[in-house]
């Protein structure tokens, strides 16, 4: 997936202009690499044709893992490993275990989901990615269109101009992530490897 | 502008002034980039001083034992557990704002959720101190973790509410932290991308995990926060329910009541919102955020305070009625003699609690008072004092007179190290909060931007103008266009 590619980058300053632009770019057959926005723009994922995320399904699976972990551990401990006689009450005291079972369900689900989220989005400290425009986290909606050998980038730039982009340029960028710090201009390890 | 962005004019704007996206970033993030004010330093140093006094008090307690506190034969839980329950309760408002109001789609939460969640995390940190140091031999604190060990293995008692507390509080802290931090990532990336100095680029670069703002990431982020909100909602109810089980499952008169879980949860939200009010009123003033934390926000929170305060009031009266109606001699004695009797040793605290929690919040039925900042600030302090006394009344008035009159204790008042420990947690809380306010965006920048075009004042004015135009034209052009 990752590697160095060429992109035509158009920056929009209004999401109302961005939406039709996304539709037109897709209709024209260009491949949108990604759109970077300062806040979640509702419906943009559908406009770009992204599929729904299944993160919540993962959360459910982590949750039931927590439930079963709690129930199996507590029941093993209190009925097999070290049965305690508490006032002659049953060793298998399910109602008293509900609070801990519930807490572990929530804990497993939350921790698992956040880790999965970070894994899927490749987010971690000391991870660096190419930023097409620094104002993408401020007030610009930045669309990066991937170029292939056959793409005429002048044509794409003109197309974006018509679609209402405020700033347009062409960038050669690494699509994946690498280890790096934001205070240093840093060569990509892939560049170093290949000796570009 | 499409109709999808429409919000009724009856609703007050959530963002005042003529703002655009960049202005929002500028307003919220620039305080981070400037040198802190003199006021910040003064506040910070006072907090650190309190924290150090707390550390010294804990040092005394660990070195010489729990005897440093004035706990006695029947009052085994004095100030420390009172403070524990109080701090946990404070935390609940943050989760209510960030999780429950998210599920209810309350737009006004965006202005206050970040700081309220931070408050939750710091409050739970403070709360955790009390049971931990109360253990006395704190170096054996790891005994509360259930793991196969060489001591038997001796397991913890899974049927005990005290262990449920361990699980509840640690889960609550972890989930709140994850929720808060995952929401912070995009905003930290905003700070990173604006950074001018190398150090700031490095630190915010590390802290923002390389966030880019990709649409797919936002989609997952939205899904994550929605599910975390769904998990945090029952979690927050469970936490104070479990805290109340510490009392409710015992057989102490005044504690052994089934009304405790809902009463505690309502009380927790009540006191938490009061704390949010105190913090927000200072925060908006110090950082000049009046456009984002508006009078409307303060009024909305005051409405929550009057609602939860009234629930607490009903609970107190129900509890009192049931104590009489239940015809349990000891239960009724605890209420009649230890609490309601003004001339009993702690009678004054019951009336103080009643006044602060039940009577005074009723002032918020008046709109003028709900929108009065000075009055709100004053009330938020009163409510917090009242809620502290609620826990004090429950713990101390139920325990100082045991079943056995011969062991009825003398008047309990805290030692200087008990007070010092409490002040120390204030120091911890405010030290953390001052650092948070200096180094983190105190308002969720991305969330404000996402509601700006619906609820921003300048945009709402435009909508009014749009409505005045010919409605057919409005429909044809705007509604059709939106599809």
How confident is the model over B389-437, as pLDDT tens digits? Answer: 999 999 998 888 878 888 787 778 899 999 999 999 999 999 999 999 9
**What pLDDT shows up at residue A193?**
52
pLDDT at B243 over 90: yes
Q: Where are the domains of chain B?
A: 20-455
B213 and A CB contact within 8 Å? yes
Give the DSSP letter of residue B145. S
**What pLDDT shows up at residue B483?**
52
pLDDT at B465 over 80: no
Quick check: A55 and B216 CB within 8 A? no
Q: Out of A55, A78, A106, whose CB is closest to B220?
A: A55
CATH classification code of A4-52+129-194? 3.30.70
Q: Is the model more confident about B74 or about B191?
A: B191
List the 175-204 stretch of B: residues with Cβ below 8 A of A: 175, 178-179, 182, 185-186, 189-190, 192-195, 198-199, 201-202, 204
Calculate the CA B181 to chain-centre distance.
17
Task: Select the highest-mean-pLDDT range: B15-24, B143-152, B308-317.
Answer: B308-317
Contact call for residues B339 and B389 (beta carbons, < 8 A): no
Q: Using DSSP, state whether A66 is helix, strand or coil.
A: helix
Task: Report mean pLDDT in 10-residue bins for chain A, 196 residues.
Answer: 79 88 88 91 89 92 96 93 87 93 96 95 90 89 88 85 88 83 70 49
What's the Cα-to-Cα distance from B111 to each of B27, B188, B191, B300, rounded to whole Å? 13, 17, 18, 12
The angle at the Cα of B206, spanning B203 to B212, to the nearest 5 degrees, equals 115
Q: How far is A49 from chain B (nearest CA, A)?
A: 11
**What pLDDT shows up at residue B162?**
92
Per-residue pLDDT band at B2 (split at 50, 70, 90): very low
pLDDT at B166 over 80: yes
Query: Mean pLDDT throughout B291-304?
Result: 91
As annotated, the residues of chain A forming the CATH 3.30.70 domain(s) are 4-52+129-194
**What pLDDT shows up at residue B426?**
95
Q: Out of A16, A63, A93, whose CB is closest to B2?
A: A16
For chain B, what is the mean pLDDT? 89
Quick check: A114 and B220 CB within 8 A? no
Of the listed ranges A138-152, B50-64, B155-169, B448-462, the least confidently predicted one is B448-462
User: What number is the ipTM of this complex?
Assistant: 0.92
Residues in a beta bridge with B456: B15
What's the Cα-to-Cα distance from B421 to each of B54, B396, B444, rounded to whole Å? 5, 18, 33
Which residues in chain A touch residue B215, judged by CB atoms under 8 angstroms apart?
34-37, 41, 44-45, 48, 50
List the 225-264 stretch of B: residues with Cβ below 8 A of A: 226-228, 231-232, 234-235, 238, 242, 245
Pairing of strands A141-147, A127-129: unpaired
Query: Chain B residue with minimal CA distance to A59?
Result: B227
Q: Out of B152, B204, B224, whose CB is closest to A55?
A: B224
- Main-chain phi, psi angles of A91, to 5 degrees: -70, -35
Query: Mean pLDDT throughout B75-85?
Result: 91
Q: Using DSSP, state whether A171 is helix, strand or coil.
A: strand
B476 and A CB contact within 8 Å? no
Q: The tokens 């909060």 sit on which residue?
A: B433
| Cα gap B56→B69, rounded to integer Å | 13
What's the Cα-to-Cα distance from B197 to each of A11, B30, B193, B212, B328, rounded to whole Å? 25, 14, 11, 20, 69
Quick check: A39 and B224 CB within 8 A? no
**What pLDDT shows up at residue B452?**
85
pLDDT at B1 over 50: no
| pTM strictly above 0.90 | yes
Query: Which of B172, B195, B212 is the best substitution to test chain A (most A C-beta atoms within 10 A)?
Result: B212
Per-residue pLDDT band at B246 (split at 50, 70, 90): very high
Query: Mean pLDDT throughout B124-147?
Result: 91
How confident is the model over B274-292, as pLDDT tens digits? Answer: 999 999 999 888 888 888 9
**What pLDDT shows up at residue B12?**
82
Cite the beta strand spans of chain A per DSSP E: 4-12, 31-36, 127-129, 141-147, 167-174, 177-179
Assigned CATH class of B20-455: mainly alpha
| Cα gap B271→B90, rounded to integer Å | 6
Contact call for residues B140 and B46 (beta carbons, < 8 A): no
Q: Which CB contacts under 8 angstroms, 24+ apart, belong to A158-163?
A: A159/A24, A159/A25, A159/A28, A159/A30, A160/A8, A160/A10, A160/A21, A160/A25, A163/A10, A163/A17, A163/A20, A163/A21, A163/A24, A163/A25
Q: The tokens 């034209």 sit on which residue?
A: B473
Per-residue pLDDT band at B18 (split at 50, 70, 90): confident
Q: Using DSSP, state whether A145 is helix, strand or coil.
A: strand
Quick check: B178 and A110 CB within 8 A? yes
Give the DSSP letter of residue A87. T
Quick check: B186 and A37 CB within 8 A? no
| Cα gap B466→B139, rounded to integer Å | 68
Cite the beta strand spans of B204-266 per DSSP E: none
Pairing of strands A31-36, A127-129: unpaired
Contact call for residues A155 and A8 (beta carbons, < 8 A): no
Q: How far is B466 from chain A (nearest CA, A)?
A: 17
Of the listed ranges A44-48, A171-175, B132-136, B191-195, the least confidently predicted one is A171-175
B483 and A CB contact within 8 Å? no
Q: How far is B157 from chain A (nearest CA, A)?
A: 9
Quick check: A121 and B167 CB within 8 A? no
């Amino acid at each position: 997936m990752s590697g160095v590619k060429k992109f035509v980058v158009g920056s929009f300053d209004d999401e109302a202009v961005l939406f039709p632009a996304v539709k037109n770019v897709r209709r024209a057959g260009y491949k949108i690499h990604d759109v970077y926005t300062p806040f979640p723009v509702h419906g943009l994922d559908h406009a770009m044709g992204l599929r729904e995320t299944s993160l919540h399904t993962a959360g459910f699976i982590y949750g039931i893992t927590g439930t079963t972990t709690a129930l199996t551990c507590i029941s093993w401990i209190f009925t097999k490993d070290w049965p305690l006689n508490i006032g002659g009450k049953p060793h298998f005291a399910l109602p008293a275990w509900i609070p801990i079972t519930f807490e572990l369900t929530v804990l497993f689900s939350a921790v698992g989901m956040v880790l999965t989220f970070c894994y899927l989005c490749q987010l971690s400290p000391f991870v660096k990615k190419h930023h097409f425009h620094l104002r993408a986290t401020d007030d610009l909606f930045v669309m990066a269109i991937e170029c292939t050998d056959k793409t005429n980038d002048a044509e794409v730039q003109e197309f974006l101009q018509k679609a209402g982009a405020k700033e347009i340029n062409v960038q050669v960028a690494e699509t994946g992530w690498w280890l790096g710090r934001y205070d240093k201009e840093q060569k990509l390890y892939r560049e170093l490897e290949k000796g570009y | 502008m499409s109709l999808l962005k429409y919000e009724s004019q009856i609703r007050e704007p959530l963002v005042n002034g003529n703002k655009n996206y960049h202005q929002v970033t500028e307003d919220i993030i620039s305080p981070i980039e400037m040198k802190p004010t003199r006021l910040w330093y003064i506040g910070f140093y006072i907090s650190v001083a309190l924290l150090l006094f707390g550390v010294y008090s804990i040092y005394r307690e660990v070195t010489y034992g729990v005897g440093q506190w004035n706990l006695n034969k029947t009052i085994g839980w004095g100030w420390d557990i009172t403070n524990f329950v109080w701090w946990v309760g404070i935390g609940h408002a943050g989760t209510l704002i960030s999780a429950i109001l998210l599920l209810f789609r309350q737009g006004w939460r965006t202005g206050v959720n970040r700081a309220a969640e931070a408050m939750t995390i710091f409050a739970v940190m403070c709360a955790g101190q009390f049971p931990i140091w109360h253990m006395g031999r704190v170096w054996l604190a790891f005994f509360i973790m259930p793991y196969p060990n060489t001591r038997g293995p001796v397991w913890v008692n899974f049927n005990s509410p005290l262990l449920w507390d361990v699980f509840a509080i640690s889960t609550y802290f972890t989930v709140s932290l994850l929720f808060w931090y995952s929401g912070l990532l995009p905003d930290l990336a905003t700070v990173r991308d604006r950074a001018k100095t190398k150090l700031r680029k490095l630190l915010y670069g590390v802290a923002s995990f390389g966030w880019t703002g990709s649409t797919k990431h936002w989609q997952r982020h939205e899904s994550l926060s929605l599910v975390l909100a769904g998990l945090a909602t029952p979690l927050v109810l469970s936490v104070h329910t479990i805290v109340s089980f510490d009392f409710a499952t015992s057989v102490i008169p005044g504690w052994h009541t089934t009304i405790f879980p809902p009463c505690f949860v309502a009380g927790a939200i009540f006191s938490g919102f009061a704390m949010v009010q105190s913090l927000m009123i200072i925060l908006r003033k110090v950082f000049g955020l009046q456009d984002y934390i508006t009078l409307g926000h303060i009024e909305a929170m005051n409405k929550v305070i009057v609602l939860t305060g009234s629930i607490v009031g009903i609970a107190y009266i129900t509890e009192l009625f049931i104590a009489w109606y239940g015809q349990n001699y000891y239960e009724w004695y605890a209420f009649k003699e230890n609490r309601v009797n003004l001339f009993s040793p702690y009678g004054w605290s019951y009336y103080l609690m009643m006044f602060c929690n039940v009577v005074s919040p009723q002032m918020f039925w008046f709109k003028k008072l709900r929108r009065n900042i000075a009055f709100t600030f004053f009330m938020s302090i009163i409510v917090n004092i009242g809620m502290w006394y609620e826990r004090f009344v429950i713990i101390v008035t139920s325990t100082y007179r045991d079943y056995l009159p011969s062991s009825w204790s003398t008047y309990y008042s805290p030692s200087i190290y008990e007070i010092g420990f409490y002040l120390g947690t204030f120091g911890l809380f405010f030290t953390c909060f001052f650092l948070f306010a200096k180094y983190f965006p105190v308002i969720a920048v991305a969330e404000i931007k996402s509601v700006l075009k619906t609820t921003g004042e300048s945009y709402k004015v435009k909508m009014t103008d749009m409505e005045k135009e010919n409605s057919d034209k409005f429909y044809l052009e705007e509604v059709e266009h939106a599809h």
